[in-house]
Amino acid sequence: MVNKEIFSLVGKKVLVTGGSGFIGTNITQRLVKENAIVSATYHSKEPRFPVNGVSYIHADLINKEDCQLVTKDIDYIIMTAAFVSGAQGMLANPMQLVTDTVILNLRVLEAAYLNGVKKCIYISSGMVYPFKKELLKEEDGFTEDPFEKYFTGGWSRRFIEVVCRMYAEKLKAMDITVLRIDNLYGPYDNFEQKKSHVMPALIRKTVERMNPFEVWGDGNDYKDFIYIDDLIEGIILALKKAKGYEVFNLASGKNVTIKEALKIILRCGNYEDAEIIYNTDMPMMIPYKRLSVEKAERILGFKASTSLEDGIKKTMDWYRKNPASD
């Protein structure tokens, strides 16, 4: 369902869980520009890039009392907090992504319900989808098991989505919008070697002139990379327009292979003479996935506008000024 009256965020109290992370940092910047009253939680580390105008709160969202405290008197919540890792970490310790991520999000939803929060945006993942070569629409999220290597992460997010539906559709307690995203990249991403995803990992190797240049897998798997600014626009559109319980894919709508993306990365980094080695002994994830964005375009008016080359240039420029220290 869509709210035809697009409301203003001016003066609205918005909480961002995981507010010092990749999505959290970018969405808090946008919310401040929208003149919202923004608070953000952080857990293990103080924000490396604090945003002016944001009230940061140290909280353990697995703790019921902390969730009650941070959601009190809040109008809207954007739920970005989760335990994340790269492919290696996901395979090494898959259950941490399940247990802690599920508990903290259920605690936040429970506290939001008890404190009368009007609306939540839950950032889910394309991991919920099964492996299919066809275009994946929102209704395909529960048709079959997720891709085998995403089984634990995919089902944990499916479970959180079901609980979101319980609160929004069955209890009619608040509006909740689920946004399924995949292969996000841009400034403030995690560039740590053990936790980074494919795009920040390749950008870091390019900037640091890794030689030989190791790429995990054979480079033939397809990805739909969406730039952070496009995702943030989608979140704002969902916050302003969607009502009741809704699920949307947010993606660029364009698939490229890792080899094709790497070619652009190396060109943007003036490192086209890199000696590339494809290491097929390292973890490879889903070989193909393409999310349909038709529903988001039709209902929200969402359309990713950043080209892959422009997004890579912006991300690379940011990383050069803010290199990882690990």
- Model confidence at 324, pLDDT cuts 50, 70, 90, reads confident
pLDDT digits (tens, 9 = 90+) for 232-246: 999 999 999 999 999
167-208, pLDDT tens digit by residue?
Answer: 999 999 999 999 999 999 999 999 988 778 899 999 999 999
pLDDT over 60 at 88, yes or no? no
CA dist 118 and 98 (Å) reads 27
* 149, 97 Cβ separation under 8 angstroms: no
Would you say 190 and 198 are in contact if contact means Cβ atoms under 8 Å apart?
no
- Distance (Å, rounded) from C-alpha 164 to C-alpha 109? 8
151-164 pLDDT, tens digit each: 998 999 999 999 99
Q: How far is CA 264 from CA 199, 254, 261, in A?
A: 11, 15, 5
Decide: pTM greater than 0.75.
Answer: yes
Place of tokens 């973890």: 283
Helix, strand, or coil (residue 57): strand
Q: Say if residues 36 and 13 touch (Cβ distance below 8 Å).
A: yes
CA distances from 185 to 22, 176, 243, 290 (A): 9, 25, 28, 17
Is 309 a residue whose pLDDT tops 60? yes
13-185+225-253+290-302 fold:
Rossmann fold (3.40.50)
- Rounded Cα distance between 261 and 217, Å, is 14
pLDDT tens digits, residue range 36-50?
999 999 998 889 999
Q: Which pLDDT band holds residue 209 (cuts at 50, 70, 90)? A: very high
